Amino acid sequence: MARIGKPDKEKAQFQTRLRPRNHTDGLGEEAEAKPGFKEVKLALAGHLVPAKKNSANKDERPSIGIRKYAVHLGQPLALFQMLLLLVYRLGLHQAKTLLVIADGAHWIWAGVKEHFASLGIQVVEILDYWHAVEHLWALSRALYGQGTQAASVWVATQKRHLLH
């Protein structure tokens, strides 16, 4: 078994973080070309517990009750198959609505449509907070310029809107 020295280990970690930002199929084309690169895919299936009023008559945040995870190192198909199995095991196939929160990659939305359309329930797709903020920063740079105070203030305002 080969031993990875410190320089090789640091180089390997750095290269792993260089995954292309424009990936659309689960693995960016550049990453697929790199031997040994695999992207870990993670999904959570669970019961969403609606928010309740607290003693101050304010809504608390909704929470996830019973939950199960699907994790796969490789192509998306296996992840969606595992996730669909979890949906049935948890009884989520009988729900009125299936909520999907994801990073916006095309392969995720396409996989959701392909694998969950047969359930006959409403599917709501939401871009996750951190990826939404990335898009806000990109828009702020286009509107106000890179690194400007106006861009920072605008993004801070939009982030508050996203959270409330």
Interval 12-50: pLDDT, tens: 433 333 344 444 445 544 555 577 788 899 999 998 888
Region of residue 154 (left: phi > 0; alpha: psi -120 to 50; beta: else): alpha
Interval 103-144: pLDDT, tens: 999 999 999 999 999 999 999 999 999 999 999 999 999 999
In the Cβ-directed half-sphere of 121, how many Cα atoms lie within 13 Å? Answer: 19
What pTM was computed for the model? 0.68
